[in-house]
Amino acid sequence: MDTARRSPTGYVMFAIAATLGGINVLAVRISVGELAPFWAAGLRFSLAAVIFIVITLALRLPWPRGRLLFLTVVNGLLGISLFYALAYWALVRVSAGTATVVLALVPLVTLLLAGAQRFEGISRRAVAGSLLAAAGIGWMVIGPEEVTPAVLPLLALLAATVCVGESVIVSKMISANHPAITNAVSLTVGALTLLGMSALTGEQWVLPRQSEVVWSLVYLVTLGSVGVFALVLLVVRRLTASATSYMFVLFPLVAIVIGPSLVDEPVTAAGAAGAVLVMIGVWLGAVSSESVRSRRVRPADRTTAVLDPG
């Protein structure tokens, strides 16, 4: 177990998941150009849930029961239903830059939640890394211009960060489960909830016709959902919940780098400067803090943590 924790496998999967998640930002932007937001999210997660259910049945994996089932459902409600509902609602009322800055606080929020629940210790290094990464995201998407967002959308975004931060912690608690089972249940819960919201708000349920929207949906269902959500659960097995949450500050970084080739968004000087701050913050808060933590935890404690993540 000790060797597994010291191997670079977790960081490689972390990097892949962060890259795919960054492309998700661009793919979602393309898909909602034709599809209503709740319907687009509900359709995406419904198809991804079907894939995970088929994998679970094919592998004859046991379905969770009792406390594990409850936590898996909670994970779906927090990380899929509430997070996407709040984020989408806010995104039609504030700029994407403002939303990105607020969501960049996910690592700090996760760290504080984990500390409050005595799930992890709170280190100065991790707090400093979270704040530095958030500042870097702010400089990338806003720069020196003053922005004053509306209060209610801002509160919705802050609530979204709390939801997704807590869902990362819950994912750590149930990380002993097979990723296919966890995602089959969580995505089903999330998809049904989002489709219900779509119906209640009167959105039109239509299939995409534009070729770029079709391909963006195909990507979001396969690599963007099946790939990312499976990788996140595998990463959270190897890293702490707070370290795993640093993926969220890398998503916009990846989107800014890849954006010019997909959605014709140029890279600015502010974006380049902010990217440097983000990378330093992620290293300080996730990679460096996790390395220090691993050296401080005894091998026996590491084994127990892997076998009993709750």
Q: What are 71-82's pLDDT values in tens digits? A: 999 999 999 999
pLDDT of residue 50: 97
Q: What integer is the mean pLDDT of 35-41?
A: 90
What total number of domains does the chain contain?
A: 1
- The least confident of 16-25, 76-85, 98-107, 260-269 is 260-269
pLDDT of residue 209: 92
Per-residue pLDDT at 167 exceeds 70? yes
Average pLDDT, the chain: 78
Per-residue pLDDT at 265 exceeds 60? no
CB-based burial label for 168 (10 Å; 0-12, 13-18, 19+): buried
CA 248 – CA 298 distance, rounded (Å): 29
pLDDT of residue 303: 31
Q: What integer is the mean pLDDT of 104-125?
A: 77
Per-residue pLDDT at 200 exceeds 60? yes
- The least confident of 73-87, 90-104, 158-172, 221-235 is 90-104
CA 73 – CA 80 distance, rounded (Å): 10
- The least confident of 41-55, 74-88, 279-293 is 279-293
Exposure pattern of 136-159 as b/e (b: 16+ CB <10 Å)? Answer: bbbbbbbeeeeeebeeebbebbbb
Domain around 186: 2-307
Supply the pTM of this predicted model: 0.76
CA 289, 293, 296: angle at the middle one, nearest 5?
145
